[in-house]
Amino acid sequence: MNDRTMKAVLFDRFGGPEVLYVGRVPRPQPAPGEVLVRVRAFSVNGGELAARSGRLRLLTGRRFPKRIGLDFTGEVAALGTGTRGVAVGDRVWGVMGRLSGFGSAAEYVTVRAERLGRVPDGLDLVTAAALPVATTAVTALRDKAALRPGERLLVRGAAGGVGNAAVQLGQAYGAEVTALARAANLDFVRSLGARHAVDHRTVAPAELGLFDVVLDTAGTDLRAFRRLLKPGGRMVTITFDQTRLAASLGYIAASAVHGRGRVRFFSGDPKRALFDDLAREVAEGRLRPAVDEVFPLEETAAAHRALEAGGVRGKYVVRVD
């Protein structure tokens, strides 16, 4: 194959994991201010499952073929003119921009230089692919919730990609962490620093007590979890109910004026400074990557299938050889 094309994961119709395949697309070239990254690995995220299945078709449109892949690790392969802050050969991690959407499930990707950070020394690029989404946990706990030492923190979806990072960081920030997860994952979330690990299938929200901060990674039943806030408590959600999109977003908006505590909703859009913060958390031992399983690029559909089945411990990572 010539160097003008590359492998990428594509799909030509909405559907289950079986619609994914590895095809060839034009290899991108960096525009001014952009970086060409040779991708070494990426992780599978819940938003990609929704986009692939068609649940987000109002946002993604119906033009095919479509690409997947949100985050990535790799090496800088080339620089566009005027690009600053990175050099060819740098080991980097990043997340695709809001406007560019998906596309990191490929051999190469182009991104703005400010959307990249350097991977800490001693961390291999496949393992490191579990961590770019941890920037969401940093933003949620540190910036949106202003979590303080001694506060009670509830993490919903604690064994997942953002959740496992939130448990680790919550403990490092001095909070008393309660982690909601499947029964099979309770020992896992305890090993991350959760003081209390609760099976979300057998304990109702009303039985959990009150919390200073609630971090939600599921997007459903927001009303029930919002009721768990202490006076002055803060609730942050990073997603919405994809089966009731309008109602879910409407409730988040209405929470600002009705009842106890506003539900703070945001979608992660990290830049270099936040990646630098992430690298510092790793280097200082407050955060470590949790990789459940690594799949080759040709088995990306199997990685999607595994995430849909539930029960992930950390992240499913796909390596790009």
Task: Note whether 63 and 150 are same-domain residues.
Answer: no
Task: Note whether 117 and 62 are same-domain residues.
Answer: yes
What's the pLDDT at 220?
82
The tally of domains found in the chain comes to 2
Helical (H) or strand (E) element with 34: strand 34-43
Helical (H) or strand (E) element with 190: helix 186-192
Task: Note whether 109 and 186 are same-domain residues.
Answer: no
Distance CA 319, CA 151 (A): 38
CATH number at residue 194: 3.40.50.720
- pLDDT by residue for the chain (321 residues), tens only, comes to 457 999 999 999 999 999 999 999 999 999 999 999 999 999 999 989 989 999 888 777 888 999 999 999 999 999 999 999 999 999 999 999 765 678 999 999 999 999 999 999 999 999 999 999 999 999 999 999 999 999 999 999 999 999 999 999 999 999 999 999 999 999 999 999 999 999 999 999 999 999 999 999 988 888 899 999 999 999 999 875 555 554 444 545 555 545 556 777 666 689 999 999 999 999 999 999 999 999 999 999 999 999 999 999 999 999 998
What's the pLDDT at 61?
80
Bridge partners of 317? 43, 294
What's the pLDDT at 55?
85
Distance CA 129, CA 276 (A): 15
Task: Note whether 260 and 310 are same-domain residues.
Answer: no
Task: Note whether 180 and 124 are same-domain residues.
Answer: no
Q: What is the pTM of this model?
A: 0.91
Task: Note whether 208 and 147 are same-domain residues.
Answer: yes
What's the pLDDT at 6?
97
DSSP-assigned letter for residue 154: E
Task: Note whether 146 and 261 are same-domain residues.
Answer: yes
CB 272 within 8 A of CB 117: yes
What's the pLDDT at 189?
98
Cα angle: 264, vertex 130, 66; to 5 degrees? 80
Structure tokens at 20: 């994914």
Full residue range of the structural domain in which residue 310 is found = 5-131+270-283+290-319
Task: Note whether 95 and 167 are same-domain residues.
Answer: no
Distance CA 274, CA 31 (A): 23
Helices (H) and strands (E) in the chain, counts: 10, 16
Task: Note whether 141 and 156 are same-domain residues.
Answer: yes
CATH number at residue 315: 3.90.180.10
Task: Note whether 207 and 104 are same-domain residues.
Answer: no
Cis before 65? omega within 30: yes
What's the pLDDT at 246?
47
Name the residue among 35, 116, 32 with its Cα closest to residue 81.
32
Name the residue among 46, 43, 94 with its Cα closest to residue 292.
43
CB 46 within 8 A of CB 307: yes
The DSSP result for 103-139, as a single string, is: --SBSEEEEEGGGEEEPPTT--HHHHTTSTTHHHHHI
Task: Note whether 85 and 186 are same-domain residues.
Answer: no
Q: What is the largest CA-CA distance in the chain?
A: 62
Distance CA 144, CA 182 (A): 26
Task: Note whether 126 and 275 are same-domain residues.
Answer: yes
Structure tokens at 2: 């010539």
